[in-house]
């Protein structure tokens, strides 16, 4: 969290937007085994894109292993000011529509 700006913005799969660092602390406290497994990393200017999958998140391993996820980050003054998660996998859309 020390690598985030004060006005850090997180946008979830479902387009929910959270501003500030507190959301990450709560998420990591609830999911202490959360990992991002990077399959590809792309950088351009002040942006980073990560393609991969997760483990230890809130959806469980049976769902995690099916999902390919795209994370994007925007960097300002050496700190992350925007983090966003995308997926176009049908299972992800179906899972989110049930919430």
pLDDT number for residue 59 = 73
What are the domain boundaries of the chain?
4-97
The pLDDT tens digits of the residues spanning 24-49 come to: 777 777 778 888 889 999 999 999 99
* Rounded distance between C-alpha atoms, residue 57 and residue 2, angstroms: 21
Specify the CATH number of the domain 4-97: 3.10.450.50
| DSSP reduced 3-state for 97 | helix
Q: Are 14 and 98 in contact (CB under 8 A)?
A: no
pLDDT > 90 fraction of the chain, expressed in percent and rounded: 33
pLDDT band, residue 86 (cuts 50/70/90): confident
């Amino acid at each position: 969290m020390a690598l985030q700006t004060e006005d850090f913005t997180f946008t979830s799969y479902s387009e929910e937007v959270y501003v500030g660092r507190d959301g990450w602390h709560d998420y990591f406290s609830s999911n202490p085994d959360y990992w991002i497994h990077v399959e590809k990393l792309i950088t351009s200017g002040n942006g980073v894109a990560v393609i991969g999958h997760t483990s230890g998140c809130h959806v469980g391993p049976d769902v995690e292993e099916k999902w390919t996820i795209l994370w994007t980050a925007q960097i300002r003054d050496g700190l992350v000011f925007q983090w966003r998660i995308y997926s176009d996998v049908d299972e992800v859309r179906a899972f989110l529509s049930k919430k």
